[in-house]
A and B are shown apart, each in its own frame.
Chain A
C-alpha cells in the first residue's frame, strides 16, 4: 500500500535520512522504532508531503507521490496525526473534526463519521463545543486521531501518540489504534515507546541515525537481543 524506496532527506547540510526503504501492506500495523532524533518524524513528514526528499521514491496505492503536494496526498486517503497532536487550539472540538473532513464533500458520510468518532471517543462528544486548546493531553490525542479519521483514510500514520501521556492513557491509546486497525484502516506507527509499539504491531523497522538497521515481524524484533538491549531495557 505504501512503499518507500531509497529515500534521502536533507535539512540544509544535515543528511537526515540515508537510503531509507520500507513498506506497509494493506491491513498491517507497521511500526518504526528508534531513539529521539533518529529520523522517524522526518520519514512521516516526507511521506505526507510536508518535507521534500532529495532522492528516492514514495508510492502510495501504486502511485508515485514523491512530489505530490501535501493537501493532495491527504485526498488520496493518507492521513497523518502529527507529533505533538497539533490540534487547532483556537477552534472547538467539533470544528477540529470538521477540519479533518475538509477535503470531503459527502455531507451524509461526514455526519456518519462524526458520529463514529464521537462513539469511539465519548469524551470528545462531552466537550464538542470546548476550545481544543483547553483539552488535556490525552483528550487532544483523541481529538487529533479523530480528526485524522474524519478524512476516512485507508492509511493512518501516527507520530508518537503516547508522548506526554500517563501510562493508563498510553495503553488506552494503543487499544484505540488496535481498534482502528481492526475496523479496516492500515496503520503506520512511529514510537519511542518500543515495547508498546511492538506489542500491537504486525511488523517493525528499527531506525538509527537516519538509517534502517533492522526489520522483521514485531514478534521477532521483540525477542532480538540488540533491540531488547537498546529499546526495551
Chain B
C-alpha cells in the first residue's frame, strides 16, 4: 500500500467511522437510559435522508444553500419528533415489561418504518442530491482529497464534543446520567424521568439525522432498507465500545469504520465477515465492551 493510498483510505475510514459513531451514540444513549436496544434507530437514518430528499426535490424548486440548510434542519426536527413519538407510543407502555417485549417491539417499529417508507416513496433506490460541497481540496500525490469526508469528520467531532459537554456539564445532562444509573433514585431527586428519556431519544435521533445526510451523500442514493446495514454496523460499534458508554460508542464507530474501509481496500468481499467476526471476538473476550463496565444485574 502506497503512502498516498494509505492516507486516502485513512481519511475514508475516518469518514465512515464518523457516521457510525453518530449513529452508535443514539444506540448507546438509549440503551444507557432504558436498557433497550432500539433496533429502529438505523431506520431513523433512512427517514432523515428521505426528509432531505423530499425537501430538496418536492418542496424547493432550486437547491440553493438556504434550501439545503432548511432541508437538513427539517430532517433533524422530523427525526427528533419521530423518535419521541416512537418512545411514547411503543416503548413507554412497556417500561416495566420484560426486556424482550420491548426488544421485539423495537424490531416491529423498524419494520413498520421501512414499510411506510416503501408505501410513500416506493422500494426503488432514488439518487440523493449533493447537499454538502464535495470539491477536491488538495491532492496527496495524484489522489484528490475531497471536502465531503473532511466536513463529515469535522462536523461529527464537533457534535461529539458538544454532546460530551452537554452530558457532563449541564443540568439536563446530569439528569440523564442520574436516570441512566438509577431510575428510582433519580425520581427521588425530582427528575421527571419520562421527559429525560424523551430528551435522550431526541438527542440520539438528531445525531442520526445529521449522520443520514453524510451517509446518503456518501453512498449517493436513498432506499427504504438503507438504514439496516449502517444501523447494524453502528450497533456493533456501540457493543464493541461498551454499550451504554458514550466514549465507547465514539471509539467503536471509528474502529469499525476504519477496519471496514481498510478491509474493503484489500479484500472487499470479507468486509462484513470481519466486522461481525470482531463482534463475536469482543463478546467472547470482553462482553462489556472495550470501555464498558462489567455490570451486575440489579436484583
Contact = CB atoms under 8 A, between A and B. Distances in A.
A131 to B, nearest CB: 12
A20 to B, nearest CB: 21
Given A86-B184, A86-B185, A91 B191 contact: no
A38 interface: no
Contact of B178 (A72, A79, A91): A91
A95 interface: yes
B191 A90 contact: no
Interface in A91-109: 91, 95, 98-100, 102-103
B181 A70 contact: no
Contact of A80 (B182, B188, B191, B192): B188
B181 A90 contact: yes
Interface of B: 171, 174-175, 177-178, 181-182, 184-193
Contacts of B192: 69, 71
22 contacts: A48-B188, A70-B187, A70-B188, A71-B187, A71-B191, A74-B189, A79-B188, A82-B185, A86-B184, A86-B185, A88-B177, A88-B181, A88-B182, A90-B181, A99-B174, A99-B186, A99-B191, A102-B171, A102-B175, A102-B190, A102-B191, A103-B190
B187 A86 contact: no
A39 interface: no
B161 to A, nearest CB: 20
Contacts of A50: 184, 187-188
Interface string A60-88: 00000000011110110001101000111
A82 B186 CA distance: 11
Interface residues of A, number: 27
A91 B177 contact: yes
B106 to A, nearest CB: 26
Nearest to A103: B190
B174 to A, nearest CB: 6
A86 B190 CA distance: 15
A39 B221 CA distance: 60
For the residues of B in contact with A, the DSSP-based class is helix
Contacts of B184: 50, 82, 86
B188 A98 contact: no
Given A71-B192, A71-B193, A88 B187 contact: no
Contacts of B182: 86, 88
A185 B186 CA distance: 22
A72 B185 CA distance: 14
A90 to B, nearest CB: 6
Interface of A: 48-50, 69-72, 74-75, 79-80, 82, 86-91, 95, 98-100, 102-103, 147-148, 151
A14 to B, nearest CB: 16
Nearest to A104: B190
Contacts of B175: 99, 102
A151 B185 CA distance: 14
Nearest to A148: B188
B88 to A, nearest CB: 16
B177 A82 contact: no
A71 B190 contact: yes
Contacts of B193: 71
Nearest to A81: B188
Contacts of A69: 187, 192
- Top 3 A-B residue pairs of the complex, sorted by shortest distance between their CB atoms: A103-B190, A70-B187, A74-B190
A151 B190 CA distance: 9
B188 A75 contact: no
A147 B192 CA distance: 17
Contacts of A86: 182, 184-185
B190 A82 contact: no
A194 B187 CA distance: 29
Contact of B189 (A49, A89, A100): A100
B174 A91 contact: yes
Contacts of B177: 88, 90-91
A220 B191 CA distance: 40
Given A74-B187, A151-B190, 7 more contacts: A70-B187, A74-B189, A91-B174, A99-B175, A99-B191, A102-B190, A148-B188
